[in-house]
Structure 1
């Protein structure tokens, strides 16, 4: 889970940080503003996931706390669709940094510095104290605990292309 309810009956283990950032296309007008605000951001079409999405909930909660209305929203079904929509100049978005890392590195999207951003969340394992994990779930939790340093190192490292596996993707045509 990314947005764990505050409940003492839950056992929560954070796994990795999940920063939510505001993204725009290259040369978006907001990038030339000295200090854009959340209200400036909300004047554009905001591409969002479906109601109940953790990213959407976190962003809407921040907007409500700052008393910023979100009158121009377009709902899309996946983060990939939202990224494509921003790159196609359909609107702006708030997405997990991990979901847009490659596009940021390649200059296809730009992070917009807004006050109170990034929104910090963690991906967590969660279960209730009242119901102990099954043996398989406990094995999974033990595995995650054991490999937590590896996960954190992996997700904090700069992205790099996968090594070549030496297999051609296209059939070799004989002449």
Structure 2
């Protein structure tokens, strides 16, 4: 039977270090502890949990978490998030502020999120706003474990259940270098699927929407994809002529305006989605977070507008 009341932060941090670095030895090096000391912490944690938390890695090179270990790791990360938030709130209070609010945003939103944080700092100087950027999967994970007071993203997740407020339109389209053969005329499907698509990593909301759009118009037609880790890298690669990209048009505002990139005409594009502000439905927001929630809702659309003809828009129920 699990008896977790005696679990210590040192034990949980030892578990986190082994999970991140793959072995007791590596965990000890990161935490400035000996391997036997890490083993002792893990053993105490296993005794409290009543189950094994570590097992030998499949490749035999170190240790990995069991299913029970991964379950306890989620709790450890939530505790870390809560302690970090508490520490930040105490620092804010010491400076005479009302507290800290952590704002999580998906990677695509980083093009307007800093301006939003700046506006909030002007309108609410007594609140410390911390900005955290990640892809869709990371942002949802942060919402689930309570790492964010508020998150800004595309389609709200089904799990965890959230309250959501639409902030404004979020168009997506296909972009290419201005000298690309596809530029300047409607793109034919055969020519489109012969191209190399430069795309974000799996888990990105933009990647999910791109895959669904290509599957819909191509009826399962295969295509070549090169994965890149950021929108900035993708934009530079497109401008260099390495391929074309399906991106949020809010991420390429300046490049389209200057002519360094062009938007391609393709079936069903641009796709008009929306930005949403979300927070967990099962948690009562702190007063300081509720103030910023209302402030963000009052600011209106967060980024430049691209409003395609209604006939070209994908129905609002589709997309990631």
**How do 1:99-114 and structure 2 match up within 5 A?**
99-114=251-266
Counterparts of 1:156 and 1:25, CA distance in 2: 22
1:18 has 2:170 as partner: yes
Counterparts of 1:78 and 1:54, CA distance in 2: 13
Aligned to 2:214: 63
Task: Please say if residues 41 and 92 of structure 1, whose CA atoms lie closer than 8 Å, have aligned partners that are also in contact.
Answer: no
Please give the root-mean-square deviation of Cα atoms over the aligned residues, in Å: 2.3
**How do 1:1-175 and structure 2 match up within 5 A?**
1-5=153-157, 9-32=161-184, 34-66=185-217, 67-148=219-300, 151-152=301-302, 155-156=304-305
How far apart are residue 22 of structure 1 and its match? 0.3
Counterparts of 1:102 and 1:12, CA distance in 2: 29
Q: Which of the two has greater helix per residue? A: 2
> Which of 1 and 2 has higher RCO (CA within 8 Å, sep 6+)?
1
State the Cα deviation string for residues 62-100 of structure 1 (Å, max 9, x = none).
Answer: 112231434311111111100000000000001111111
How far apart are residue 52 of structure 1 and its match? 0.7
Task: Please say if residues 200 and 231 of structure 2, whose CA atoms lie closer than 8 Å, have aligned partners that are also in contact.
Answer: yes
Task: Please say if residues 196 and 224 of structure 2, whose CA atoms lie closer than 8 Å, have aligned partners that are also in contact.
Answer: yes
Q: Give TM-score, length-normalised by structure 1.
A: 0.77
Aligned length: 153
3-state SS in 2 of match to 1:155: coil
Unpaired runs of 5+ residues, structure 2, are: 1-152, 307-320
Unpaired runs of 5+ residues, structure 1, are: 158-175
3-state SS in 1 of match to 2:165: strand
How far apart are residue 6 of structure 1 and its match? 5.3
Task: Please say if residues 39 and 68 of structure 1, whose CA atoms lie closer than 8 Å, have aligned partners that are also in contact.
Answer: no
Counterparts of 2:269 and 2:293, CA distance in 1: 31
My pick for the range that moved more, 131-140 or 44-53, is 131-140
My pick for the range that moved more, 130-139 or 76-85, is 130-139
State the Cα deviation string for residues 105-126 of structure 1 (Å, max 9, x = none).
Answer: 1111110011111111112111
3-state SS in 2 of match to 1:69: coil
Q: Give TM-score, length-normalised by structure 2.
A: 0.44
CA separation of 1:38 and 1:127: change in aligned 2, threshold 3 A: farther
